[in-house]
């Protein structure tokens, strides 16, 4: 096996490992921990509001910050 093919096979294995482990499905009723307040990117509401305000000012539009249901799969 030449070093080149070995590298290629290594790459295949790496990508296969990534593909196999990349998409985990969290069942809707197992999202209790994900729905907790401390799992937010910015846990402080005031700070989050300020961040949004600055972002919306620079973008010239509002909304679209959250996925529907806030990630708990509620909607």
Please give the residue ranges that form the binding site for another protein (CB under 8 A). 4, 8-9, 11-12, 15-16, 18-20, 22-25, 27-32, 35-36, 69-70, 72-75
Q: Which residue, 2 or 58, has its beta carbon nearer to another protein?
A: 2
Residue with tokens 């620079």: 58
Rounded to an integer, what distance in angstroms lies between the CA atom of residue 70 and that of residue 35? Answer: 8
Q: Are 31 and 71 in contact (CB under 8 A)?
A: yes
Euclidean distance between the first and the last CA atom of the chain, given in angstroms as a whole number: 53
Q: Which residue, 33 or 60, has its beta carbon nearer to another protein?
A: 33
Tokens of 42: 């910015």
Task: Provide, rounded to whole angstroms, the least separation between the CB of residue 51 and another protein.
Answer: 21
Q: Which residue, 25 or 58, has its beta carbon nearer to another protein?
A: 25
């Amino acid at each position: 096996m030449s070093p080149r093919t070995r590298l290629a096979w290594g790459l295949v294995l790496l990508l296969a490992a990534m593909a196999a482990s990349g998409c985990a499905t969290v069942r809707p009723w197992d999202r209790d921990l994900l729905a907790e307040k401390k799992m937010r990117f910015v846990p402080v509401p005031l700070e989050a509001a300020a961040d949004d305000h600055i972002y919306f000012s620079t973008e010239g539009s509002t909304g679209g910050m959250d996925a529907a249901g806030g990630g708990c799969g509620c909607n």
